[in-house]
């Protein structure tokens, strides 16, 4: 089991609020690894829409993605690309 972590800055205009939040969660759900994101010391299960929304992460927020599992590397890479795309 590999564990991968990476810090990214959100470039999406609406942050992780509006539709991008749903798309982000749906993307996370494709991976078998467990994935957590942390913003301002608040941690959330990346596969839970209500947890992700509760973070209230806006454009410019620093966000840490941590994944653990067989596809952890891909998961972190794809999710990071998603967040860093405006």
Partner 1 sequence: MFKGIAASPGIATGRVYIYRKREPVIHREHIAAVQVPAEEERLDEAVRLSKIQLEDLRDKVAQELGASEASIFEAHLMMLDDPAFVPEIKDTIRQELIKAEHALFKVVERYVQTFNAIEDEYLKGRAADLKDIGERLAGNLLGMAGNTLEDLPEDAVILAVDLAPSDTARLDKSRCRAFVTEMGSRTSHTAIMARSMEIPAVVGIAGITGKAEDGDKIIVDGDAGLVWLNPDPATLKLYRRKQHEYRQLRQELQGLKDLPAETSCGGRRVELSANIGTPEDCTAALANGADGVGLFRTEFLYIDRDHLPGEEEQLKAYTAAAMAMAPRPVIIRTLDIGGDKRLPYLHLPEEMNPFLGVRGIRLCLERPDIFKTQLRAILRAGISGNVRIMYPMIADVSEIRAANALLAEAKRELADEGISCADQLPVGIMIETPAAALTADLLAKEVDFFSIGSNDLIQYTMAADRMNERLYRLHELLHPAVLKLIKHIIDAAHRAGKWVGMCGEMAGSEEAAPLLLGMGLDEFSMSAASIPRIKKIIRSLSYAQAADIAREALALPAADSIRALTSKVLQQVDEYRA
**Active-site residue numbers?**
17
CB 55 within 8 A of CB 17: no
Quick note: the x/- pattern for partner 1 over 15-54, rule CB under 8 A, is --xx---x----------------------x-xxxxx-xx
Give the chain's largest Cα–Cα span. Answer: 34
Residue 69 sits in the site that holds partner 1 (CB under 8 A): no
Burial (Cβ within 10 Å: 0-12, 13-18, ≥19) of residue 24: buried
Determine, following the binding rule CB under 8 A, whether residue 81 of this chain makes contact with partner 1.
Answer: no
Which alpha helices (DSSP H) does 1-86 contain, by range?
19-28, 49-55, 72-84
By CB under 8 A, name the one of 7, 56, 60, 62 that touches partner 1: 56
Q: Which residues bind partner 1 (CB under 8 A)?
A: 14, 17-18, 22, 45, 47-51, 53-54, 56
């Amino acid at each position: 089991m590999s564990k991968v972590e990476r810090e990214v800055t959100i470039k999406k205009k609406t942050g992780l609020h509006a539709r991008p939040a749903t798309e982000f969660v749906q993307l996370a759900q494709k991976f078998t690894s467990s994935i957590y994101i942390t913003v301002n010391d608040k941690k959330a299960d990346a596969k839970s829409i209500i947890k992700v929304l509760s973070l209230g992460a806006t454009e410019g927020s620093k966000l840490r993605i941590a994944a653990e599992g067989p596809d952890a590397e891909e998961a972190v890479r794809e999710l990071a690309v998603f967040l860093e795309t405006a």
